[in-house]
Chain A
Amino acid sequence: MSVPRVSRLLLASTALAGFMMPTTLSAQAFGLNEIGSCAIARGFATTATPCKDASTIFWNPAGATRIDGWNVSLGVASIALSADFHQDTTGRKFSANPPTRFVPHGFLNYHKAGSQLAYGIGFYVPYGLTSQWPNDFPGRFEATKASLATFYIQPNIAFQIDSNWSVGGGPIYGHSSVELIQALDLSAQKTPVGPTFGQLGVPQFTQFGTARLKGDASAWGAQIGVWGRINDHWNVGLRLLSQLSFKYDNADATFTQVPTNLLLGADLPGTTLKQGTPFDAILAPQFTTGGALVSQKVSTKIDHPAQAQVGASYSGWKNWLLEADYAWVNWKSFDKLPVTFAGPAPSDTLIENYNNTSSIRLGAEYTIPTDGWKLRAGFVGASSAAPAETVTPLLPEQDRYYWNFGIGVPLGKGFTADGTYAHVFTNGARGRIIERTSPTQPADLNSGVFNIAANIFAITLRATF
């Protein structure tokens, strides 16, 4: 008897990538942009004129020279995702139930007034996701629950070349942990006599086991930025974030049998299978010593892609700041997801074939002259990274739009609170709830439509002294 395609697990790993589902809505694929409330409110259009806090270490490392003194910026964003899958075959709608995720960020920067150098360090979460579906969701064989949590720590040095130009950057240490829980589908398993259980009539999406994959990994990378002032009203900026490749080499895979309580209904001609044979008894040896579905180590690799963002800002209208950015993410690096078991479970490589993505980011900020409050708004349009063949419960990736609003409130000398609300819209995307079995499998085998939306609240407290 063959073993289940645990690779899905790995898929799961995709999931890794994918936990993105719920949490990932805030950027393309499993990317996250919730790094500083001010930046979120401005539609992430902050490369040319970064927010005046230490979050510039991420948004433009060169901008650190524009902040004098010590600056501390701490905050968190909550991401509440709603998602559902509308199945063609039954017309049923399955709603995901991912928990609200809280994504922290923290930055510290020091720049002595008049110095050409600024120093700092940042902690942020540029990638991650969580997806969680109900127990009756037929796509649970892709992912019942998937979680990817990655954080980057970036020491930063910025150098002011002259009054109009700065450069900056620093190495990045990244750490990523992943967990995937996935149901195992009996219909895809081979019987001891050759055909699959599905060929003996077992309906697709009949669960006979649960697989869990858990692991973590570290990686190194870097980010650099360039900032420039064209004239009194126009600024430009650029940031480049390198790819970090996480190799989860020692992850744990565990498997649990789930009773099907199915009995063979008749003697099957030409086989040794007899009426009344319990399927669970046939399957049980897979979960015991010598079987394929025993606890074992598994490895996979998930590239967290490189990013580039360029922007231009205009401040020629009194009390107004306008900025437009273009962001590019090298999602093509996420073309496949290898899943290699150290034990007897069969290894596999999942086909993702992601595309590079682009997004347009527009932001505006108005400063109320009487009290210094900031009113901010932003709009973002982002293209989907996943091709039509790879939209799955792990990552129901699709084009998305954001409307962002926020305020900045001075709390006293040197202290400011920024608050932001953002809503993420999508138009829905057709997708599937089973993995592809070949690279040529067409998108017209998709079996339903994924819809997702998200509400994001973020708050950041910053202090300058």
Chain B
Amino acid sequence: MSRTHFAARGALALGALLALAACDNNTNDVVVPRPANPIFLSYVALGNSITAGFQSDGINDSTQKQSYALLLAKAMGTRYAYPGLTMPGCRPPIANFVTQARVTTATSGPTTANSCFFRTAISITDALNNVAVPGIQSADPSQQTPPAQAGNPLEQIILGGKSMVQRALDVHPTFATVWVGNNDVLAPAIAGLAPPPFAPQATPVTTFVQNYAKMINELVAGAPGLRGVLIGVVQVANAPVMITSQAFRNAQFVGALSVAAGQQLMVDFTTCTPTNLSLIGFPIIAQIKAKVLPPIIACAKTPTPPLGDLFVLDFAEQAQVKALIDGYNGYIKAKADSIGFGYYDPNTTLARLATQDPVLATHVPDLANLAAPFGQFVSLDGIHPTAAAHIQIANDLITVINAKYGTALKPAS
């Protein structure tokens, strides 16, 4: 063979090799998140303060990173974008239980409960995986702001003018968790179901059912094939923000609480009897400190309301609250069953944690431990879970998900 023929054949061979190389078109696959299971391709968490990552009566980028929703997304191996709030937050969490001083940063200056630092620039995105808004009730996720929840800047800052359901659908979810309903009863229960104008009213079950059904129906209609878990409402009377009236018969406890109230508390022992079963809402201390209420703790209704009524949840009212929440949860579970979702009752988690933490079990804050007066699982506001509790919630959710969908999500840590 001549050299020229050899060179020509070589060129042909080179061409053939290049042609083969051109057929290898698998070298640059779409690098989307590769979840543990295809059903987790796009996750969205709807909810309120707990889901958002609210702790110690505030929220910022640090607390948001401790949300069970983030832990769940990590276990799923899926994308997780949340509406990060610039430190120290909106509003900044409580940093000092006694003074109720809030988190600050080197550049923030003094902060108060009215301080609000907006979204971090890096958190601005088209699709959020956590669209939870602290403070929202069952009527809100289907409504665009305003007028729903007028005055809640977090609804604007997180949802940007869309409804929560609309914002959730922006991410084209394949899997959702929904934890809505706590705020339909939380504030009224803490306020002792006091009548207007002293306290907000709890949402009746029939209204709750209408609101909840509208939210879920919109969500499911907007995301065909959606899977997920509906989460029940917490029996709010079990939260350590509700202090047993018996604690106020302890002079040492009252003395320590008086420090937080900024003045000496007086206990009405005619109502705070050894057999009284009322729960006293901890926010009464802030009201006393602000001199909105007199520095008197009464444990049952008195002839001079709201003394003994506002922030006092008596035994009958506790039963009333429990029945209301049972009504909510009965519907939530039925709704989950009807749409093929899993159902998670957070009260099972709360009950288990109560076996591990005496504050949860006794409803008596540990005022000797001012860094964690409500125990290791509840933050400084007595309501919202700490990072440790979020892990427990995430793992219990994972158990529900694995059982419902046959997946193998690994526990969060």
Which of A200-208, A215-223, A248-256 contacts the other chain? A200-208
A276 within 8 A of B: yes
Whether the Cβ atoms of B11 and A324 lie closer than 8 Å is: yes
- Encode B175-200 as 1/0 by CB contact (under 8 A) with A: 00000000000000000000000000
| Closest A residue to B120 using CB positions | A199
Against A, the Cβ 8 Å flags (1 = close, 0 = not) of B42-69 are 1000000000000000000000000000
Stretch in contact with the other chain, from A115-123, A237-245, A284-292, A426-434: A426-434
Q: Is B83 part of the contact surface with A, judged by Cβ < 8 Å?
A: yes
Is A205 a contact partner of B126 (Cβ separation < 8 A)? yes
A268-B153, A427-B25 in contact; A91/B42 too (CB < 8 A)?
yes
Q: How large is the interface on B (under 10, 10 to 19, 20 to 34, 35 or more residues)?
A: 35 or more
In the complex, A155 has a CB within 8 A of chain B = no
Secondary structure at chain B's binding surface: helix, strand, loop or mixed?
loop
Q: Mark B153-175, 1 if CB is under 8 A from A, else 0.
A: 10111111110000100111000
Cβ A275 vs Cβ B150 within 8 A: yes
B30 touching A86 by the CB < 8 A rule? Answer: yes
**A contact residues around B156 at 8 Å (CB):** 200-201, 264-266, 268
Q: How far is the CA of A145 from the CA of B145 in the complex (A)?
A: 33
Contacting residues, chain B, for A200 (C-beta < 8 A): 118-119, 156-157, 160
**Contact status B126-A138, CB under 8 Å:** yes
Least Cβ–Cβ distance between B236 and chain A, in angstroms: 25
Name the B residues within 8 Å of A358 (CB-CB): none
Question: Is B11 touching A381 in the complex (CB atoms < 8 A)?
Answer: no
For residue A232, which residue of chain B has the nearest CB? Answer: B4
Q: How large is the interface on A (under 10, 10 to 19, 20 to 34, 35 or more residues)?
A: 35 or more
Residue from the list B115, B150, B151, B158 in contact with A201, Cβ < 8 A = B158
Please determine whether A265 and B145 come into contact, CB atoms closer than 8 angstroms. Answer: yes
Cα distance A315–B155 in the bound complex, in angstroms? 75
Q: Which of B30, B153, B160, B170 makes the CB contact (< 8 A) with A267?
A: B153
Which residues in B have their C-beta under 8 angstroms from that of A426? 25
On whether the beta carbons of B30 and A187 are closer than 8 Å, the reply is no
Interface residues of A in 338-367 (CB under 8 A from B): 360, 362
B119, A91: Cβ atoms closer than 8 Å: no
- Residues of chain A within 8 A (CB-CB) of B107 are none
Across the interface, which residues of B come within 8 angstroms of A266, CB to CB?
145-146, 149-153, 155-156
Q: Is the CB of B19 within 8 A of A91?
A: no
Check if B119 sits within 8 Å of A269, measured CB to CB: no
Q: With A138-B126, A266-B150 in contact, do A201 and B119 touch (Cβ < 8 Å)?
A: yes
Q: In the assembled complex, how far is the CB of residue B2 from the closest CB belonging to chain A, in whole angstroms? A: 8
Shortest C-beta distance, B126 to chain A (Å), equals: 4
Is B106 positioned at the interface, with any CB of A under 8 Å from its CB? no
Are A199 and B7 neighbours in the complex by a CB distance under 8 Å?
no
B118 touches A195 (CB 8 A): yes
Residues on A with beta carbons closer than 8 Å to the beta carbon of B33: 88
Question: Does B27 make an interface contact (CB < 8 A)?
Answer: yes
Are B79's CB and A187's CB within 8 A?
A: no
B150-A203 in contact (CB<8A):
no
B4 close to A199 (CB less than 8 A):
no
Question: Are A275 and B171 in touch, CB under 8 angstroms?
Answer: no
Minimum CB–CB distance from B18 to chain A (whole Å) comes to 5
**Which B-chain residue is minimally distant from A449 (CB atoms)?**
B30
**Is A362 a contact of B124 with CB atoms below 8 Å?**
no
In the complex, chain A residues 68-121 whose Cβ is within 8 Å of any chain B Cβ? 86, 88-92
Contact of A202 among B120, B121, B151, B161 (CB under 8 A): B161
A449–B28 CB distance below 8 A: yes
Q: Do B15 and A91 have beta carbons less than 8 Å apart?
A: no
Cross-chain contact of A275 among B5, B7, B83, B146 (Cβ < 8 A): B146
Contacts A201-B158, A267-B151 given; does A401 touch B22 at CB 8 Å: yes
Evaluate contact between A234 and B4: CB separation under 8 angstroms: yes
Report chain A residues within 8 Å CB of B79: 88-89
Instruction: Check if B170 sits within 8 Å of A203, measured CB to CB.
Output: yes
Interface residues as binary, B5-29 with A (CB distance below 8 Å gives 1, 0 otherwise): 1011001101100110110111111
Of A203, A401, A427, A448, which is in contact with the most chain B CB atoms at under 10 Å from its CB?
A203
Q: Can you list 20 A-B contacts (CB < 8 A)?
A: A89-B126, A90-B172, A91-B41, A201-B83, A201-B119, A233-B4, A265-B144, A265-B153, A266-B149, A276-B146, A314-B11, A360-B14, A360-B18, A362-B14, A401-B21, A425-B22, A427-B28, A428-B28, A428-B29, A449-B28
Q: Which residues of A contact B (CB under 8 A)?
A: 86, 88-92, 138, 187, 195-196, 198-206, 233-234, 262-270, 275-276, 279, 314, 316-317, 322, 324, 360, 362, 379, 381, 398, 401, 403, 425-430, 448-449
